[in-house]
Chain A
Amino acid sequence: MTVVRECRGPDPPPGWLPRPPRFEVKTPIKYRKTGETQWHEGVTENISGAGVFIRAVDPVPPKTAIEMIFSLFQRSSGQATTQVHCRGYIVREVPLTGAELGLAARITKYRLLRVHTAGK
């Protein structure tokens, strides 16, 4: 059963939408600025239906349009189930430890692709 919670407090304002749930998914991700040919590599920290947080070394300034590709893996078997191709833009860049930095990206478009046809 879904979590039942007691609701208190004021009603949400009109137009309010709950923040999309974020899932802690650590998976390799490739990203590049739109129009660039070279992919950069990173690892996701968490992903939601609207955004992704990437741990990487190659910086991308905020508001830059990017493309991203990552795979989702089945937990039990460890097999890749889906490849996700996304477009979006960088929302913010945060320094992490050493040369690493965090890139928070908004996903504006995505496609789920079968693994055997993906990457063509």
Chain B
Amino acid sequence: MDGADKRVRILVADDHPVFRDGLKRLLEAEPDFCVVAEAGDGEAAVRLASELRPDVLLLDLAMPRCSGMEALRQMAALSLSVRTLILAAVVEKAEMIEALQLGARGIVLKESATELLLKSIRQIMAGHYWVGLESVSNLIQALREFLPAPNPNGGKKNFGLTPHELEIIAAVVAGCTNKDVAEKFSVSERTVKYHLTGIFDKVGVSNRLELALFAINHNLLPNE
């Protein structure tokens, strides 16, 4: 691979070596995909995602030692922004909700057609979410069951942002540069950039002005 490689870099995490191998061959048959690493459990998935920063993580849920869901929790806690596509044999409704809340970009069942998997990867790379067609009706029903009814009197959504991320947003909206934010929170500018990338991903914006507009529009700023 050279520096100008535009292929989608994929990390495959599944505890079955034969499945991983088959999936790797399938993905690498596509000219725009390359598999950068394989993980046999959730712990390795988190470590490799952190080290290699793949574009996409294909993550099985049922894995030994550290499950896919636990890996998602760890990545969310680390603010590790990797587009994660759950690739599972079976997904319970509650798991679907939790996975999406933890930042997964989509869910594909292992029984799905190959084309559907390839399409789902391209869709999440284009910034969309993907939920396998069979699952959607389940998901909507589950959302109704699990989520509280909307509160017309100001239920405030936080889009999965951590309190620290909300503080960073407030600083950016107040006109702070990355350097200012770094000084304010006693971290490096690189860490600030890293947090901002995660924030941009979570709220779906691509620059600071959009972030400011989004934060004001969704009332994410602390009251003065």
- Chain B: number of interface residues, binned into ranges: 35 or more
> Which chain A residues border B221 with CB–CB below 8 Å?
74, 76, 81
Minimum Cβ distance to chain B for residue A33 (Å): 22
A75 interface residue (CB < 8 Å to B):
yes
Q: Which of A11, A47, A112 contacts B175 (CB 8 A)?
A: A112
A91 interface residue (CB < 8 Å to B):
no
B160 interface residue (CB < 8 Å to A):
yes
Q: Are B205 and A21 in contact (CB under 8 A)?
A: yes
B139 interface residue (CB < 8 Å to A):
yes
- Interface SS of A by simple majority: loop
Q: Are B207 and A1 in contact (CB under 8 A)?
A: no
What's the Cα separation between A5 and B126 when bound, in Å? 13
**Considering residues B101, B176, B212, which has the most beta carbons from chain A within 10 angstroms of its beta carbon?**
B212
What's the Cα separation between A23 and B130 when bound, in Å? 25
Besides the contacts A47-B213, A75-B217, what 12 more A-B pairs have beta carbons closer than 8 Å?
A: A1-B101, A1-B147, A2-B203, A21-B210, A47-B209, A49-B213, A74-B216, A81-B174, A82-B175, A112-B212, A114-B176, A118-B175
What's the Cα separation between A117 and B180 when bound, in Å? 14
* A82-B131 CB under 8 A given contacts A2-B159, A2-B204: no
Q: Which of A4, A18, A23, A117 contacts B127 (CB 8 A)?
A: A18
> Which chain B residues border A16 with CB–CB below 8 Å?
126
17 contacts between A and B (CB under 8 A): A1-B101, A2-B159, A2-B160, A6-B131, A11-B119, A11-B123, A20-B206, A25-B216, A47-B209, A49-B209, A76-B219, A81-B212, A83-B175, A107-B209, A112-B212, A115-B174, A115-B175
Minimum Cβ distance to chain A for residue B52 (Å): 24
What's the Cα separation between A81 and B123 when bound, in Å? 36
Minimum Cβ distance to chain B for residue A90 (Å): 18
B47 interface residue (CB < 8 Å to A):
no
